[in-house]
């Protein structure tokens, strides 16, 4: 544990962190119509976690976010493979996507596209890989 | 529309992704990889048969029509190479079980192994030049990991060199694709070929052709660009080395073959002459290395350069005989190089050294190993009933038909020196006085011999069954000699 008192950094971080996470989620969902998408969204989420790492140390962050980032990478890959290989079941070429409109109670009519799930896979892989790199280098003595 | 051709890429990919979750459970890793490997072989066999009966298969990924989306194309050449890759991968995998060691196995050896197969199969199957680059990167990144995994000193040093060379060549690849794109305005290989034919290959396209030769030559180790290979391939353990030696350089060779037969066949006086010159010098440089060394691994590594030279010489002659010979030789060489590296790996497992001067008399205790090595050495040199013969015969025949007597002569002479270099291993290592070696009793020789024996049997069958295989190979050569078959199959006009 570090000895010096980082109260300004820690307090600012607590405010800023949520704005960054929100922005990254916004950018992830905006990807289809505006600049953004899984890659930059994932990078920005990992940026938020890196900010946590700067304010605290690796062990504290691991208790705040008990995530195994390597498993996360695997799950992301499976998402990407699953959405692209799902088209094999419908006997259309690999990676053919589908979309549709559904009614959600509060949001009303929204359009859903399986490309979003592919993007979610990209998002998870990017977060997983970035955090694995940073954690591994950070833990290295 | 035919999703069959994606399966040799998809099956190892899914396996690799699933194996990430079980990286501590070695037993699950082995079983899953072996099962997926067998499934890939099966799918590849079905694919070869399908291409044989129904002609070239193409798949427009995500249902976008040919020049606009990514197209995967399986002609006979790529289907056969995918089949060979799957077989070589399977035997290297079973060899790994008893030789790679638990330390490496727990550290994502099998997932990375599968990713390498994804890259190689993808590079053989794709019909899009930028997608080819992406699959090259998939393959290269996996090879970086396999090369450095274990972290011994020599591996660390050699992977820095390997990484540097490949990062530079990949950058050059991107630049070359950018040049090509700015000239022809498309990335689909069939469409590129059509556009090049329309403008009749002006000077700039010959420049791009030479740039492609440099890029793929760096990956495939042809004459002035092979400098990184003897060192880098010396570092990794035997099954990884077998995988590299059998597959990685052959992807470069395949890419040169593809680009030089599909894109740049209009100005053969310049591009193919250059290719021919480099191929001949590669053969000479390779045999010099092969006879110079007293180290088993180095000898086989230099033999890769010889084989790359022989195959590309056949491609550069560009008549149907030489192309058929090249394809025969390419598949033969993938099988036999894997077998030789695995045999050398077994010898090293017994003796603990790859220095030929410290090894002798192995045949007294290991007759099976000895005779397997002997047969694969004969196959490598091209002795008639075995697999290397027909390929070289057709290449030499094609060379004489194309009045390229020097090249054909060099190919013939190289066989002699190649035979000398591997017989040197046999005579010095297996004959003579038996010595006691440290690891002798610990080495699981019986298990390690399974893989090379499978490969040598395949190689013998390949040689004996030439007549049965010929229709497949000539179908592949026909597509190479006549690009319009490929273009029509992809663009469906």
Mean pLDDT estimate for chain B: 92
Domain count, chain A: 1
B8: distance to nearest CA of chain A, Å? 13
Q: Residue A120 is part of which domain span?
A: 6-139
Looking at the predicted structure, is the pLDDT value of residue B182 above 90? Answer: yes
Beta carbons within 8 Å of B269's beta carbon, 6+ residues apart:
none
User: Which of A93, A114, A122, A128 to probe the B interface (max B CBs under 10 A)?
Assistant: A93
Confidence of residue B493 (pLDDT cuts 50, 70, 90): low
Beta carbons within 8 Å of A102's beta carbon, 6+ residues apart:
A109, A110, A112
Does B405 contact chain A (CB < 8 Å)? Answer: no
Round to whole Å and give the CA distance between B178 and B176: 5
Q: What pLDDT, on the 0 to 100 scale, is given for residue B418?
A: 93
Contact state of A94 with B6 under an 8 Å Cβ cutoff: yes
Contact state of A94 with B13 under an 8 Å Cβ cutoff: no
Round to whole Å and give the CA distance between B468 and B284: 33
**What does chain B come to in residues?**
493
Round to whole Å and give the CA distance between B135 and B143: 12
A58: distance to nearest CA of chain B, Å? 22
Q: What pLDDT, on the 0 to 100 scale, is given for residue A89?
A: 85
* ipTM, interface predicted TM-score of the complex: 0.91
Sign of CA dihedral A52, A53, A57, A61: positive
Q: Is residue A1 part of a domain?
A: no
Q: Mind giving me the DSSP string for B364-420? A: GT-HHHHHHHHHHHHHHHT-TTSTHHHHHHHHHHHHHHTT-HHHHHHHHHHHHHHHH
Arithmetic mean of pLDDT, B244-253 = 93
DSSP letter at B87 equals: H
User: How large a percentage of chain B has pLDDT more than 70?
Assistant: 99
From chain A, the residues in CB contact with B18 under 8 A are 74, 78
Candidate from A85, A91, A93 with C-beta closest to B10 = A85
Does B151 contact chain A (CB < 8 Å)? Answer: no
Candidate from B3, B16, B18 with C-beta closest to A93 = B3
Q: Which residues of chain A fall short of a pLDDT of 70?
A: 1-4, 141
Candidate from B14, B20, B61 with C-beta closest to A93 = B61
From chain A, the residues in CB contact with B14 under 8 A are 81, 85
Could you tell me which residues of chain A have a Cβ less than 8 Å from any Cβ in chain B?
A: 70-71, 73-74, 77-78, 81, 85, 88, 91-97
CB pairs under 8 A between A and B: 43
Closest CA in chain A for residue B64? A96
**pLDDT tens sequence across B185-223:** 999 999 999 999 999 888 899 999 999 999 999 998 898
Q: What pLDDT, on the 0 to 100 scale, is given for residue B403?
A: 85
Domain count, chain B: 1
Q: Is residue A109 part of a domain?
A: yes
Q: Which residue has the higher pLDDT, B36 or B438?
A: B36
Q: Residue B205 is part of which domain span?
A: 2-491
From chain B, the residues in CB contact with A89 under 8 A are none
Q: Calculate the dihedral angle through the C-alpha atoms of B5, B10, B12, B18, rounding to the nearest 10 degrees.
A: -160
SS3 state at A103: strand
Exposure on the CB side of residue B172, measured as CA atoms within 13 A: 18
End-to-end Cα separation, chain A, in angstroms: 16
Candidate from B3, B21, B23 with C-beta closest to A94 = B3
From chain A, the residues in CB contact with B63 under 8 A are 92-93, 96
Cα B81 to Cα A5, A84, B207, B219: the distances in Å are 63, 25, 29, 17
């Amino acid at each position: 544990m570090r000895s010096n008192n980082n109260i300004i950094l820690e307090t600012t971080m607590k405010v800023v962190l949520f704005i960054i996470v929100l922005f990254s989620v916004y950018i992830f969902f905006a990807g289809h119509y505006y600049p953004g998408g899984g890659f930059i969204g994932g990078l920005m989420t990992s940026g938020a976690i890196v900010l946590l790492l700067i304010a605290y140390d690796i062990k504290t962050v691991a208790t705040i976010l008990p995530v195994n980032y390597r498993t996360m990478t695997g799950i992301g890959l499976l998402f990407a493979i699953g959405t692209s290989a799902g088209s094999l079941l419908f006997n259309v070429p690999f990676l053919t996507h589908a979309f549709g409109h559904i009614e959600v109670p509060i949001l009303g009519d929204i359009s859903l596209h399986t490309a979003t799930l592919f993007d979610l896979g990209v998002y998870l892989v990017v977060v997983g890989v970035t955090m694995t790199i940073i954690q591994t280098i950070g833990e290295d003595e | 529309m035919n999703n069959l051709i994606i399966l040799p890429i998809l099956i190892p990919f899914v396996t690799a992704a699933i194996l990430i979750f079980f990286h501590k459970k070695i037993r699950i890793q082995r079983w899953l990889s072996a099962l997926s490997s067998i499934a890939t072989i099966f799918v590849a066999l079905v694919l070869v048969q399908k291409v044989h009966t129904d002609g070239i298969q193409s798949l427009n990924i995500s249902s976008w029509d040919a020049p606009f989306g990514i197209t995967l194309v399986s002609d006979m050449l790529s289907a056969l190479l995918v089949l060979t890759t799957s077989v070589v991968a399977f035997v290297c995998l079973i060899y790994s079980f008893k030789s790679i060691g638990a330390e490496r196995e727990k550290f994502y050896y099998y997932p990375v192994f599968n990713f390498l197969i994804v890259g190689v199969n993808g590079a053989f199957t794709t019909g899009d030049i930028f997608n080819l680059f992406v699959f090259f990167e998939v393959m290269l990144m996996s090879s970086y990991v396999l090369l450095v995994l274990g972290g011994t000193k020599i591996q660390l040093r050699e992977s820095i060199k390997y990484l540097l060379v490949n990062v530079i060549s990949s950058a050059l690849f991107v630049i070359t694709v950018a040049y090509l794109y700015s000239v022809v305005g498309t990335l689909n290989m069939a469409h590129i070929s059509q556009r090049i034919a329309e403008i009749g290959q002006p000077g700039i396209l010959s420049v791009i052709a030479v740039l492609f030769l440099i890029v793929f030559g760096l990956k495939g180790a042809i004459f002035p660009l092979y400098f990184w290979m003897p060192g880098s391939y010396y570092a990794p353990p035997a099954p990884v080395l077998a995988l590299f030696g059998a597959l990685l350089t052959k992807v470069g060779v395949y890419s040169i073959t593809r680009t030089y037969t599909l894109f740049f066949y209009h100005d053969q006086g310049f591009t193919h002459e250059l290719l021919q010159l480099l191929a001949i010098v590669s053969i000479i440089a390779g045999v010099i290395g092969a006879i110079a060394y007293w180290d088993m691994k180095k000898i086989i590594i230099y033999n890769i350069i010889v084989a790359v030279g022989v195959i590309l010489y056949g491609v550069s002659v560009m008549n149907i005989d030489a192309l058929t010979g090249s394809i025969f030789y390419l598949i033969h060489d993938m099988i036999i190089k894997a077998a030789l590296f695995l045999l050398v790996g077994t010898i090293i497992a017994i003796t603990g050294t790859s220095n030929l001067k410290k090894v002798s008399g192995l045949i007294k205790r290991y007759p099976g190993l000895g005779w397997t090595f002997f047969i694969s050495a004969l196959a490598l040199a091209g002795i008639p009933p075995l697999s290397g013969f027909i390929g070289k015969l057709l290449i030499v025949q094609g060379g004489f038909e194309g009045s390229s007597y020097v090249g054909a002569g060099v190919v013939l002479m190289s066989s002699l020196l190649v035979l000398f270099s591997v017989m040197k291993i046999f005579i010095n290592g297996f004959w003579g006085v038996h010595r006691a070696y440290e690891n002798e009793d610990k080495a699981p020789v019986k298990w390690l011999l399974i893989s090379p024996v499978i490969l040598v049997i395949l190689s013998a069958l390949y040689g004996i069954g030439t007549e049965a295989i010929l229709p497949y190979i000539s179908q592949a050569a026909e597509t190479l000699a006549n690009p319009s078959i490929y273009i029509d199959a992809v663009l469906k006009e």
